[in-house]
Structure 1
């Protein structure tokens, strides 16, 4: 019913709009009065209170102040903006993989390792969970009996790994690894038919 009323007002004669203006200025023309007198208020459909409340609650789409996303000038800045608290199992698994596979690598190389793991979760060719991808049998040599070895949270390299993992999970910086699903060290054959994506630090990344 709210739409019916809106449509009626939108298609009414120019005289109705003129009369609204005239009521403010006090100089409405007679022709305007004749045009409005043809409308019987009793014939207008009533707008339910609930509909009126809904209409009044429409958001102001011109206000973009809610966009409080943070932009970074460099990967190092994005990493430095993170805390080193591993607050979830997914985060701990990803940070562990970064630590064991890429500690000592440049930040871009650490992020690329994380990106490979995240890409695998979305590929349909590997498990869909971060921890399951990492602990999948025969995939990562640091995994022992299906588990990631414990790491002291006080280690500087691990704290960095946690921050890099947070950047990766938040997609806060584009990785040079792109859609890579594999990586290894130079001189080692990937063992499958793949396409080289990037070489970062001591790793080569493939798709």
Structure 2
């Protein structure tokens, strides 16, 4: 059978016995040169999975809830134990009775400040900066019993924040205070979580 389409002739076989052969065995002839064009050969891609980039291999795990993220980070270590201690102590003294979302938001305030360029550039520097956190005395963090249940929770929340394993419920917040305290200056309210109001 020969089909003509736009000056091109396509010859195909219609025998029933040849149905098992690949469909791309026809020859295409151009009328201008009368030179056969080689049959089209489909590209075959390997079935092996490509190498996963290292950044994806080491991406933070995803969790179904903040509770699950905190539980998963309760054990294990971080790369910077000093930053962990400063952040966990801040969470403990500023929000130990708050819901996990409030504790995480407090942690992210510290991390956001460290990235902002308006405060110290590291976690402990932000926490110990003069006049920022009332529990800090002369640049020294108070001692906390490391086996205290509330401190262990604060430490797990700090690990979640440091690992970027859960988004902050108060995005881009740089400040927080109690509900009963008025709006400080010209700040924009970002979130109300537990007994704290968060601002940027």
Of 177, 181, 187, the match for 1:194: 187
CA distances 1:92-117 after superposition (whole Å, capped 9, x unpaired)? 00000000000010000000000000
Structure 2: runs of 5+ lacking an equivalent: 1-47
Of 65, 68, 91, the match for 1:74: 65
| Residue of structure 1 in register with 2:109 after alignment | 116
Q: Is 1:128 aligned to 2:121, yes or no?
A: yes
Q: How many residues align?
A: 148
Distance in structure 2 (CA, Å) of the matches to 1:80 and 1:203:
23
3-state secondary structure, aligned to 1:178: coil
Structure 1: runs of 5+ lacking an equivalent: 1-59
Q: Is the 8 A contact 2:94 2:106 kept in 1?
A: yes
| Residue of structure 1 in register with 2:137 after alignment | 144
Q: Is the 8 A contact 1:85 1:162 kept in 2?
A: no
3-state secondary structure, aligned to 2:173: coil
TM-score normalised per structure 1: 0.67
| Residue of structure 1 in register with 2:45 after alignment | none
Structure number with higher helix proportion:
1
| Residue of structure 2 in register with 1:102 after alignment | 95
Which runs of at least 4 in structure 1 moved beyond 6 Å after TM superposition?
Answer: none
Of 23, 36, 50, the match for 1:62: 50
Q: 1:151 to 1:85 in 2, by over 3 A?
A: farther
Q: What root-mean-square deviation, in Å, do the aligned CA atoms of Structure 1 and Structure 2 show? A: 1.9
Q: Is the 8 A contact 2:170 2:198 kept in 1?
A: yes
Q: Is 1:173 aligned to 2:166, yes or no?
A: yes
Of 50, 74, 89, the match for 1:83: 74
